[in-house]
Structures are given as C-alpha cells and as structure tokens.
Amino acid sequence: MATILIAYSTVDGQTRRICERLGQLLEARAHAVTLVQLTDDRVIDAGPFDKVIIGASVRYGKHRRHVHRFIAENSHKLDGKPNVLFTVNLVARKPEKSTPETNPYLRKLLEELAWRPTHAAVFAGRLDYALYGFWDRQIIRLIMKLTGGPTALDAKVEYTEWEQVEALAERISAL
C-alpha cells in the first residue's frame, strides 16, 4: 500500500472528476489517497507521500499558475518518488493531439518547468456550454468553430476516455 497525493487544478470540474476517479481506482487497489485542489492560497507539501499525481486543466492555452507554483515548491521532493503529471484540455479530443508527445499544452508546460515527471498523460476534457459564463461561452464557441468542434449552445460532449483513466490508475499502482 502506498500513500498517494492527487493534487489538481480545475476550471469547470472535469479535472476534478478525473482525479476523483483515479482516487477511487487507487483506493480499490488498497492505496491511501489524499485528494487536494491546488489554489493560490494553499501550500501543499508533497514530502510525506510515496507517490504524487498532478492533474492540470487548460483554459485558453494555459495551465493555472498554482500548478507551476506547486511544482516549483515541491520539485526536489517530486524527483525522489514516482510521480505523474497529466493535463486535461479540449484540444486532446483530436487523436493527433492526444498524447504527451503531441499535445501542445503539455509540451509547453514541460518546456516551462525545470522538473520532469516520471510519467505524463493527456486527457480530453468535457465541453458543456451551460457551465460557462457569457464571455467564456462566446470565446470557447469561437474556438470550437475554428477547430471544427460543436458550436450549438446546448452541446454537452464528454471527450474524456475513461478507459485511459483506468489504465493510468493501473500504471500508477505499479510505479
């Protein structure tokens, strides 16, 4: 049994849902899981945990600053233990942008960091216009139009492939 920290940043809740599912799957394998949302005012010490998972959502091409801060504050502790970094974004709905090697947002994040994860993963997010405020809805709709995605304001599309989440849980358990 390992103690596992799952630290995540989410905008609309999909990254949290993925992390919650990872937690359930890992607990079913007898691991002790602590799930924590990263925020600007929360300091989290990765030191006491055997393994660390970081889930980071993308909005308008960027990961949130508290993801960067958590990694910077804990990079020396992360290097000494198995760890996973995954990103959640709508661009990953396209097969050619759905791997750590081809996803532009994960590649950009890794370029910005001095730290390298033991394992990296990419998950497609969820599109739900009803969740967004007026301006976000307009901008995301424009992005979807430009990239060939759904633009109907009642669209709710689950792009996350939950089998990939289950496979990641197995990999984490084996680390």
CA–CA distance, 31 with 89 (Å, rounded to integer): 27
pLDDT tens digits, 69-110: 999 999 999 998 999 999 999 999 999 999 999 999 999 999
- Domains of the chain by residue range: 3-125+160-174, 127-159
User: Residue 95: what pLDDT?
Assistant: 93
Q: What is the DSSP string of 20-38?
A: HHHHHHHHTTT-EEEEEE-
pLDDT tens digits, 19-75: 999 999 999 999 999 999 998 888 899 999 999 999 999 988 889 999 999 999 999
Share of the chain above pLDDT 70, in %: 100
Considering only the C-alpha atoms of the chain, give the largest distance between any 2 of them, rounded to a whole number of Å.
Answer: 47
User: Residue 4: what pLDDT?
Assistant: 97
The CATH number assigned to the domain with range 3-125+160-174 reads: 3.40.50.360
Strand positions, DSSP E, the chain = 3-9, 32-37, 51-59, 62-63, 83-89, 119-124, 126-128, 156-158
Which tokens belong to 36? 């924590």
The confidence band for 128, taking pLDDT boundaries of 50, 70 and 90, is very high
